[in-house]
Amino acid sequence: MNVELRHLRALAAIGDEGTLTDAARVLHLTQPALSRTLAQLEQRLGVRLVERTTRSLSLTAPGKRLWENAHRILRDLDDVLTDVTEAGAPRPLRLAFAWAALGRHTVPLLRAWREQHPGTPVQIRRADDPAALLRRGEADLAFLRLSPGPDDPQLLHQPLIRERRLAVVPVGHPLADGAEVTLAELGAETVALCATAATTTAELWPAGQRPPTVTVPGVDEWLTTIATGAAVGVTAEGTMHQHPHAGVRYLPVRDADPVTVRLAWPARSSHPATDTFRRYTVRHLAQSGRLAPADA
């Protein structure tokens, strides 16, 4: 099909930036030149990759798949070139997470890895969608609190630990003095949902008992909204360890199912230490007695 790297870079930038103007700026091209490159790629593949109107641009389903794989291909090439130019020096193992990494296990796990594997540093990165980083080759492993699903051929994953669901209420709230709460008690309040965390939605409550909700963009906004008394929240236990806040109190939710934390990695891994880190993490958690059942 005679697809060139410049074609992949063009599509990667278009998908990332969302407009031809911004993508052209990132690539240091004129917009007409970028449009010609995209048209050439679509012609050579025989498939439309981008839907364009006068007001919007979006990737088609084939375009989104190629966009994710283009990132991985370009990242793999960069890794190979770095390996050659830096005389084989290993690059860091890139570990992504959304809100809470591995909760209270995060620091002990990474400190022990640093001591046992000093030649392979771990580079951590917070991202709204860590699974997308894996698909695009921008991360080697990720902690996920949602399963990628059995129909995702690009990612492999395994359960690690189960975390309790916790209510988050403002200090001074009537529920803050209890030892635990129920979903029904929380359902009488406005519940803050975070756009970057999908472990809690209104569907956590039974139909007919779902509370009013307010959606906020990130964890800082979520905690501030709760601390000011505007809402309450529900989250996984790891949030309490990763995001302590003087204005809120975390309480177990007695009747909510736990959240399973998974380790995920690309089916085609590009880092030689990926499997070593996976086995190390399982062993570390098994020794602490917190490893989740295999069918979690």
Does 81 have pLDDT greater than 90?
Answer: no
Question: In this structure, is residue 138 part of a structural domain?
Answer: yes
Q: Over pLDDT 90: what percentage of the chain? A: 65
Nearest residue to 236 (alpha-carbon basis) of 110, 102, 131: 102
Same domain? 151 vs 216: no
Same domain? 128 vs 146: yes
What's the mean pLDDT in 81-94? 69
Task: Tell me which H or E stretch contains 106.
Answer: helix 106-116
Question: In this structure, is residue 293 part of a structural domain?
Answer: no
Pairwise CA distance, residues 196 & 94, whole Å: 20
Q: Bigger pLDDT: 125 or 75?
A: 125
Same domain? 67 vs 98: no
Per-residue model confidence (pLDDT) at position 55:
74
* Global confidence as pTM: 0.73
Q: What is the per-residue pLDDT across 100-135, written as a single tens digit (0 to 9) for each?
A: 899 999 999 999 999 999 999 999 999 988 998 888
- Residue 69's CATH number: 1.10.10.10
Type of residue found at 20: L
Q: Where residue 90 falls among pLDDT bands split at 50, 70, 90?
A: low
Same domain? 233 vs 267: no
Same domain? 187 vs 245: yes
Per-residue model confidence (pLDDT) at position 118:
92
Radius of gyration of the chain (CA): 22
Question: In this structure, is residue 32 part of a structural domain?
Answer: yes
- What total number of domains does the chain contain? 3
Per-residue model confidence (pLDDT) at position 288:
74
Question: In this structure, is residue 237 part of a structural domain?
Answer: yes
Does 85 have pLDDT greater than 90?
Answer: no
Q: What is the DSSP letter of 236?
A: E
**Is 68 exposed, middle or buried (CB count within 10 Å of its CB: 0-12, 13-18, 19+)?**
buried
- Residue 170's CATH number: 3.40.190.10
Same domain? 154 vs 171: no
Same domain? 101 vs 125: yes
What are the DSSP E strand ranges found in the chain? 50-52, 57-59, 93-97, 122-126, 141-144, 155-163, 165-170, 191-194, 213-216, 233-236, 248-252, 259-266
Q: What is the per-residue pLDDT across 143-197, written as a single tens digit (0 to 9) for each?
A: 999 887 666 778 999 999 999 999 999 999 999 999 999 999 999 999 999 988 7
Does 290 have pLDDT greater than 80?
Answer: no
Same domain? 36 vs 181: no
The mean pLDDT of the chain is 89
Same domain? 234 vs 198: yes
Question: In this structure, is residue 33 part of a structural domain?
Answer: yes
| Residue span of the structural domain in which 79 resides | 5-85
Q: Bigger pLDDT: 248 or 78?
A: 248
Per-residue model confidence (pLDDT) at position 88:
56
Question: In this structure, is residue 294 part of a structural domain?
Answer: no
Same domain? 247 vs 170: yes
